[in-house]
Structures are given as structure tokens and as C-alpha cells.
Structure 1
Amino acid sequence: SQASSLAQLVSQMQKNADTVEKDILVAEEMLAVDNENEKKQLPFQHQEQLKIKLGEAEDLLKDLFLDVDKAKKLKHPQAKEIESDVIHLHERWLKDCSIYRDIYEQINDVVLMPRINWEPVFSQKQKDVNREDFGTTMTDLEKQIAAHNIMHQELEAYSSQLCVSSAGSKDKYLTLKKQYNNLLENSKWRRHYLTSLYEYMQGCNKQLLFMEEEQAKIKKQDWSDQMMDPPDVRRQYEQRVEVKEIVNEIYQVDPNTEVEIVRIRKEIQESKKQQADREKLITDVNTDLNILRSEKPKVELKE
């Protein structure tokens, strides 16, 4: 009879709905576990089980929607409520499927990336970063900074292309992602070292310029006996020019620059020594003059 068929249909629908809900709950727990595994870059544990669970739920949901139509035709008094419950289960299933794709596939739904052989690309870029030396002149250093900035921009552009689709598999993607992150970090440090060295050499050039200006002033100074206010000149040049040497294994100062610094230091020291000798001579002469002035003139009387 119709009542018996309806009762049997409702019983089957209830059984299928319970199974779908159970599968969805289990799937959500598994998805949560593998979502954490992805964040920690650990292997997935439940991908195959989830594929089975979500597949079974999909088949049962199809049957449930067909059974809902039958219940409507048989004029079940709660057909709308049953349909609403099935739709709710379907929405939960769709949400889990979306999470599944985000975790395990990570493929652009619109454009699939072509497979790329990333290993030799990353290996070559890593060699380029590691083997580069540091320029010993400002011109060389500026060229290196410009070249490395271009390479670093290329590395950053790889981020949008590196995915499961271009890697070939999820496992390869995780391995390549770790290699890429290390490469990008090394490139950032390389850029930092180049910038630091450039700033350091700029400081050295400023110090050299200052010392050359001081040298020019010393050479122009009147060191003769006609010098005006010797004590003031002495105080002016008693200030020492200190060149701070920053010791860092990655910094290589141009040998010509070091020679120039030593030469200017020696000239300044020699100029100061000559100044001190002249001041001592002037002091001695003044002392002798004062002694002579203080003595009474000797008068010899001739008979």
C-alpha cells in the first residue's frame, strides 16, 4: 500500500541521512588534522580516507534527493522539512569538499599551471647567490646590487607559480616550497650584506674626503715665524682624526683605499710634529729674549 511504501521510504531516508551526517563529522575531524599537518609541513594522514568518505556521502546524497521527490509525490506531511534537512547536509558536504581541495589540491580552478622542473632552477639560483663575491669599489658594488635586485625580483615572482599543479604532486610541492623559502631567505641576506657594505664604503669615502680637506688646510697653514696665534693653531689641530675599522668577514676594503688612509695619516702626523718643533723653537727663542732683556747692561769704563 501507499502508506507502507511511504513508511519504508522514510525509514531508508533516515538511515541514509544518518550515514551521511556521520561521514561528514568524520571527514571534518580528518580535515582539521591534515590542515594542521599542512601548516607544520608534515605529511598528510587522511587524504585517501577522506576521498572515500566524501565519495560515499555524495552517492547517498543523490539517493536522498531522489527520495525527497518521491516523498513529495506520495504527499508526505513533512516533505518540506525533510528536504530542508537534506539540503543542509548537502551544504555541509560541499563545504568539506571545498576544504579538501584547498588542502590537498591547491590548484587554480581557472587556469592549471603547466608542470615546471623546479629542482634545477632553484639549484642554479642557489649557486648564483652563494658564489657571488663582493665588489671592492663603489662602481663594482653598485653593479652587484642592481644585478641582485633583478634576481631577487625573479625569485619573488616564482611564489605565484609554485603550486601543486606546477610541482606535479603534493609531496614534491612541500619539498620544493621548503627549498624555495630557504633560497628566498638567502637572497634577502645577500641583499642585506650588499647594502651594508655599500653604506660602509660610503662612510669610508666621506672620511677620506674629510681627511683630504684637513690635509689641504694643514698645507695652506702658515707655519713660519710670522704665524698668528700659535696656541690657537695648536689647539685646532690637536683633534685627531680617528678612522674606525669595522671588522667583518664579508667586508673587503679596497687595498688602495687602505694605503691612501695610511699615507694621509702619516702626513698629518708629520705636519703636527713639524708644528710642535716650530712652537718649541719659538718658545726657546722667546725665553732667551726674556733672559737677555732682564739682564742689566754691562758697562765697561776705560781709564
Structure 2
Amino acid sequence: MFKKKSKTTAITTPKPTAPSTELTALIEKLQKNADKVQKNIFDVEQNLNKDVSKINEGKQPLYQEDTNKRILNSLELLSGLDEDAVNAKRLQHPQAEMIEQDMKQLRDRVMKLREDHDHIYHLSRTEGRPSINWGNIMDEKLDNLNNKGFGQDLPSVENEVEEHNIFHSEVEALAPHINCSGDKDYVSSLQMKYNKLLASSSARQRNLLSLRDYMQRCTNELYWMDQQAEERINYDWSDTNLDYPARQRQYENFIGKCLESKEATITKLSDDGEKLIAAEHPGKNVIEAHMEAVHADWKEYLNLLICEENHLKHMDEYNKYHKEARDTQDLLKRLDTELNQKYNPEFKDVYQMEGLIREMDDQAKAIDHFDERVKALQNRSLQVLPLKYRRETPQKLLPIEALCEFDTDEGQVLRGERYTLLRNNGTKWDAKDAAGRKLTAPAVCFMIPPTDPEAVGTSDNLASQQKAIKQKMATSKGALMKRFEELKKESGTGTAGTVRSIPVGLRNIFKSEGVKPFPTLRSLLCEIGIHKKKKKKKKKEEEEKTVSFRSRTSGVRLRKPAQTPKVVA
């Protein structure tokens, strides 16, 4: 990835990696003094140009003493800067060598100004010609301009922009000195050189600005995609993450509202890069590198979106299965409790026994629907992924499947290919392919295929519980039938009359006291939607007897409800 935009100055001073306070203070001091030297250089160049104009006009120079003081001050500052550069190297600054090179360039520029100062103020002026050969100066600046390159990253391009802004100001400052000579041919040649120099400087300035703008836009998108990739790589895709619904809503919102606009931004970057290359931009190598980086990161980001969609789907299936399994297990426990408590043949009369037997026959039919639920859970358990292995290393090697393509240092991960998980390092997994080649890739790129031993064990346990309940129902029904036959015999001999049902009065008392009847199997099954009660519709028909009579006025035949004749006492 490319670095983010950062403010640059005459020397390269990135944020120090060492935590030392001494190194931080040293770099701040070094930067401050280097800026002073840079300002002195700029002021001396401007003042020398002004004094050259005065000398050519036969006037006294104005800035001889000032320029000399600034040059001496710069040399004094450079002596301290050299010591600071040595100390920065001693303190192991990561770019100490670059700082030394910057100091050397500053010293060379100051020494060149010192030579120009001596040449301007201590040599006699030749009649008819300026004391400075402006043509040579322009040639030197043009050669210097042609040898300038373009940075490879955004900070270096920023530095090039700032340096060229100073250079371009120097070129513009040469314009007043071209017409100082009376020699028309000489002035004409100077004007041609100056026009060429100014055009080249302006072109470089435009190219630098367009390159910086394009690199900045690319860097912004690269930074955003880096953040997105890091977020998905570090996300918890295991069974312990219960906050995945929020992530799912965020994913769906981005796909529906933001993906298209982001894709348009990436496409525009590619188109703008192609236009710059077609226009033969001198920094086309840097532009091509940024285009390739954006394209590669965008491809990686889309692949990670595919992985995210798959993981969210698997997490949803995993949690839904286990929730339904828990609900089913709780229901089976309640059914077992009801069988133990309600369908007990003791202390029941013939009528109660007969009602319980009919109810149990009805519930036996209803519980058959429960078989479908348990069988469905058994089938689903075979498709549930073992998400717990994403957070812990299993005792044996596991097969894993790649959800997307991903480029690693060891090679490329291919979508749909099977690999063997060697080591779970958290967000990174060590794996090997079918050929035995080892590689390390983000864990988000893989899934562990079914089955999940815990899910299969849960469904098998549910099937066993259901089977036990059905057996218990059969046993309870047998006990009820046996007791019912005994009560019938006792009733036939007249002895069963002592066992009676609860009187209506007591039932009303229980009802007034808030005693609720024990829930039936049918009502429990209705709670989960397995059994639906049939609703009976009652219809009442009322017949109206009508009599017809003819209206005397309209002759229309009307139907009128029959009236009961009055009885005369």
C-alpha cells in the first residue's frame, strides 16, 4: 500500500519510530533550523537579483551587507545541523542517511550563493555587458530542470512540488533582467532562452500538481480499502459472536446503498489514470503503479465481501439451528413432566379415565407431527458448520475450503479449493494444499466444512428423547386402559359408585380460587405451531314466515313477516 498524505518540507523528517524524547526534540530542532536556512537561501537569491539590476543601471547595490549576513548565518546554522545529523544517526533515526543528504544539498546551495555574492560585489562591471551572464544562468537552470525526476510515493512528490515552487519563483524573477542590455541580439537570445525555461518550468509544475492530485486520490481509496480489509480479517466469525445480526444489517446496507458509488469512484480513478498515460505524462510509471495497486486492492476487497456474505450466512444457520434445538429440548422436557403428572391412573373414576384415554389417543396423533420437526433438525445438523474450531485448534488436522481468491507471499489461494488446516493462529491460518505446499493466509478466506459433531450429537439426543416419550406414552396408555377395565368391572358390581368425579360445586370453587387445569399435550404442541386446532363454525338459521298480500294503492306484491294473531280473552 502507499502512504497517506503527509506534510513535507525541505528535508525528510518522518515521525520517529524510537520513543526517545531526546530524538524527538532533536528532530524538531533540526527541522526548525533547516527551515531557517531555506528561507535565507530564498531571500539571498531575491536580493542578489535586485542588486544586479541596480549595478547594471549604474546604481549602488542595496543588499550587499544583508545578503552577506544571511549567508554567514546560514553557514553557522549548517554547522549545527551537521552535528544534529550525526546525533540523529547515533540515536538510530530510521532516515538518518536521507537527513545527511539534505544537509549536504543545503550546504552546496549556500556555497553557490557565496560565490555569486563575491562575483557580483567584488568584480568590476564590463561596459556594454551585464556583470552576470544571464544566458549561462538560464542554461544551468534548464539543465537542472531537465534532470529532475518525479517521486515514487506521495511524500516525495509533495517534496518535489514544494522545491519546484521555489525554483519556478526564481525563474519568474529573471524576467526583469532580460531587457537590461542595450544589445538587441543579445536580448533576443536571452528572451528565447527565458521563454523556453519558463515553459519547461510551467509544464513541470502542472505535471507535478496533476500527479500529486491523482496519487492523493489513489492513496485515499487505498487507505479506505486497507481499513475495510483489516476490519474483516480481525472480525470474530466464530460461534461465540452473538452480535452478528448488527454486522449483517451493516453489510446489507452497504451492498444496497454504497457499493455502486464506491465502484464508480474506483472506475473513475482507472479512467483518469489511463488519460494521464495517454497524454504521455512524465510520471506515467508512478501512475501505472498506483493504478495496479488500486486494482489489486479493489479485487481483494470484493473477495473479502464474498467471504463476509458466506460467514454471515453460516453464522445465522448455526445460531438458528441451536435455538430451535434448545426450544425442542425444552418442549420435550415439559411433555415428559406432563406424562408423569397428569396421566396417572390413581384417584380417577371411570369417567375421568375414559376422558384421559380419549385425550391420549388424540395427543398421540398430534405428537406424530413432532416427528417431522425432529427429523428436520437431524437433517439440518448435517449441514451446520463447526464454528467453534475457528477459535481453537482441533486435536486433529481438519479440511478447510477457500471462499475466495487471495494472494499470499507463498502463492495464491484459489476459491473452492480444499486445503488442510495445520495451525490456527487466530486471524491467520497455516495451511497446505493438495500438493503439500504450505502457505499462510487470513482465516476469513476459509471455512471449515460440515459436519459439526456437537450439532449432530444434539439432534441424536433429541431423537432419543422423543423415542423415550413415545414409549412412555404407550406405557401410560396401557396403565390407563388396565385401570379403566378394572373400574368398569367394579362399576358393574356396584362397587365403583364410590369413586366419583369432583362435584360441580367444588369445580366452581377451584375455578374461583384461580386453580388452572394442567396443560394438555395438544396445548403444548400448539405453542410451537406443530398442531393447529380446528375451529368449528356455528351457524344459526332463523326462518321467517311471510305472507303475501296485494297493496291496494300500488299493486306491488310485498312479503311481510307473519304476525301472531292476538288472543281475545
Larger radius of gyration: 2
Q: Which TM-score applies when normalising by structure 1?
A: 0.50
Q: Which TM-score applies when normalising by structure 2?
A: 0.29
Higher strand share: 2
The structure whose RCO (Cα within 8 Å, separation 6+) is larger is: 1
Higher helix share: 1
